[in-house]
Amino acid sequence: MGYKVAVVGATGAVGREMLQTLAERNFPADKVYALASSKSTGQEVSYGDDKVLTVEALDKFDFAKAEIALFSAGGDTAKTYAPIAGQAGCLVIDNSSAFRMDVDVPLMVPEVNPGSVASCLTENGGRNIIANPNCSTAQLVVALKPLHDAFMVKRVVVSTYQAVSGAGRPAMDELFNQTKGIYVNDTVQPEIFTKQIAFNAIPHIDVFLDDGFTREEWKMTAETKKILDPTIELVAHCVRIPVFVGHSEAVFIETERPMTEKAVRNLLNEAPGVIVVDHRANEGYVTPHEAAGEDAVYISRIRQDPTVPNGMVFWCVSDNLRKGAALNSVQIAELIAAQDIRGR
Ligand code: A2P
């Protein structure tokens, strides 16, 4: 028998991708509930190529009917409804930042730290909640993991170039409408973003903190420590760019042990979830445009950093709606199903 799965935020950019990913990967689901706000009740959303689900209101849903819930409806909604779902016996995989740093909530990337599922179950004193990391963190730790295991990563400097879909469907609409409008001389009126996003780059994602970093930058540091190793020092600079789907990162690492470029290339080539495309020629690297719609974390432009003793530089690109969100959530659900952790 398969699982009964609820997707919360099913009308959103990530929620739609969750439904697509569940269907594509043949997740063993007997029943899938598509949930969103009451204003979306009755709307239809696709589940795979040939099925359509009718959206139900989250605030009226009885989570006792579902065994696994994939949440992507923002932090406030998660804070209200994830505990309700958890208490009803439904295992929540939440894509928001609401629970990520809670000590009793695993923050999981299946290729990196798959071992911690059981600890979150209520019967083990847990809250029935597993958190999905921030999209920029997810793709980064997948690439860092094999290098950390082999060479012990000490420090990471990362600059991100992040797609607008990370800010949800209305943000994608804003880029689309601004881009169209600029060609016909319309006045730009930013709503979701703080400045014009079309034909621009905005060095500001999430709110500013007292130390001058943004919360997005802080998340990359804190989440990498929680998922991979608290000893890793990481400094991030996060920028929103006018790309619809696909986050890019320029990554500079320093390791404890010496590493060669060849060894790094080989390790990344063999790492789960990673594809190296690095030909040092025109077109010999991956851009977000090619990564969109794909599951892998793509690595290009690997080269030694000559300015520090053990340093390497690379370019890391992935579909932020997939590995950064929906795919990672579905992979966690697959782990739960594979371990038959719910004792079914
Ligand atoms: P709705 O479309 O009904 O507003 P995105 O991140 O792409 O903007 O998507 C957010 C998702 O979260 C949407 O599916 C949205 O539903 C859902 N959502 C937001 N707030 C709530 C809420 N209070 N209750 C239920 N669903 C919500």
pLDDT at 8: 98
Q: Residue 162: name the closest of 210, 110, 219 by CA.
A: 219
Atom 9 (ligand 1) nearest CA:
12
CA of 200 to the centre of ligand 1 (A): 27
Atom 14 (ligand 1) nearest CA:
9
Residues with CB under 6 A from ligand 1: 9-13, 15, 36-37, 39-40, 58, 73-74, 77, 168-170
pLDDT at 344: 45
Is the model's pTM score more than 0.75?
yes
pLDDT at 60: 98
CA of 278 to the centre of ligand 1 (A): 39
Which ligand 1 atom sits nearest the alpha carbon of residue 170?
8
CA of 139 to the centre of ligand 1 (A): 24
Structure tokens at 224: 């990498």
Domain with CATH 3.30.360.10 in the chain: 136-320
**Mutation choice for ligand 1 from 20, 40, 44, CB with most ligand atoms inside 8 A:** 40
What does CATH list as the number for 3-133+325-338? 3.40.50.720
Atom 4 (ligand 1) nearest CA:
37
Domain with CATH 3.40.50.720 in the chain: 3-133+325-338
| Nearby residues of 210 by Cβ (< 8 Å), 6 or more positions away | none
- Catalytic positions: 135, 247
Atom 16 (ligand 1) nearest CA:
36
- Per-10-residue mean pLDDT, the chain, length 344: 96 97 97 98 96 98 97 98 97 98 95 85 88 98 98 98 97 98 94 98 98 98 98 99 98 98 98 98 98 98 98 98 97 92 56
Tell me which CATH homologous superfamily contains domain 136-320. Dihydrodipicolinate Reductase; domain 2 (3.30.360.10)
Atom 3 (ligand 1) nearest CA:
37
Q: How many CB atoms lie within 10 A of CB 228?
A: 22
DSSP collapsed to 3 states, the chain: CCEEEEEECCCCHHHHHHHHHHHHCCCCEEEEEEEECHHHCCCEEEECCCEEEECEEHHHCCHHHCCEEEECCCHHHHHHHHHHHHHCCCEEEECCCCCCCCCCCCECCCCCCHHHCHHHCHHHCCCCEEECCCHHHHHHHHHHHHHHHHHCEEEEEEEEEECHHHHCHHHHHHHHHHHHHHHCCCCCCCCCCCCCCCCCCECCCCCECCCCCEHHHHHHHHHHHHHCCCCCEEEEEEEECCCCCCEEEEEEEEECCCCCHHHHHHHHHHCCCEEECCCCCCCCCCCHHHHCCCCCEEEEEEEECCCCCCEEEEEEEECCCHHHHHHHHHHHHHHHHHHCCCCC
Atom 21 (ligand 1) nearest CA:
37
CA of 65 to the centre of ligand 1 (A): 21
pLDDT at 240: 98
**Mutation choice for ligand 1 from 7, 8, 11, 164, CB with most ligand atoms inside 8 A:** 11
**Mutation choice for ligand 1 from 37, 63, 77, 95, CB with most ligand atoms inside 8 A:** 37
- How many CA atoms, within 13 angstroms, populate the side-chain half-sphere of residue 303? 10
CA of 326 to the centre of ligand 1 (A): 15
What is d(CA 279, CA 1) in angstroms, rounded to the nearest whole number? 47
CA of 12 to the centre of ligand 1 (A): 6
Which ligand 1 atom sits nearest the alpha carbon of residue 58?
25
Which ligand 1 atom sits nearest the alpha carbon of residue 13?
7
pLDDT at 116: 64
